[in-house]
Structure formats: C-alpha cells, structure tokens
Amino acid sequence: MLRAETTAAGKVMLSGRIERQDIPHLTLVLASETTGARRLDLREVTGVDADGVEFLRNCEKRSFVLEGCPPYIRSWIDRMSKQET
C-alpha cells in the first residue's frame, strides 16, 4: 500500500510500493502541488513495478526532483531512458 503525504514545504513524501493502481492517485496529488517545490521524497519507497518506474521517469521529465531515490529504482529509470533514445 502506498502513502503520499505533502509537507508544509510542498515536498511529497511517498512510502510503500508504487504500483499501477496508485498512479491515478499520485497524479492527482502532484497536480494539486502548488508551492512549486516539485520534490518527491522516495526514501521510504519499498518497491515499484514497471508502471511505477515509468511514472517516476515522467515526473523527472516534468522537473520533479526525486530525493532519496533507491539505487535500484534510479538504475531502472536510467535504463528506461536509454531505451527511449
């Protein structure tokens, strides 16, 4: 189960697994982000599926900073980006 909390500074803190069924909710959470901070804290993310990785990659394309991104997720994002080119 994924939890998303927005801090007073506008950072969105995620915890749990990011999976396909979570993406519509996350999209709404990020769309309501009005502080301009555009930061996602991934320190407590315990897993992702391929759709979750694609979502995070698209967040980066939209100028979100992925803070505390676990190395295996970063590697997966980078591999997907290379395949695109």
pLDDT at position 53: 96
Query: Distance between CA atoms of 63 and 77, rounded to whole angstroms?
Result: 15
Domains of the chain: 3-84 (3.30.750.24)
The answer to whether 46 touches 16, Cβ cutoff 8 Å, is yes
What proportion of the chain, given as a percentage, has pLDDT over 70? 93
Which of 8-12, 16-20, 57-61 shows the lowest mean pLDDT across its residues? 8-12
Mean pLDDT of all residues in 7-23? 92
Mean pLDDT of all residues in 30-34? 74
Mean pLDDT of all residues in 68-74? 95
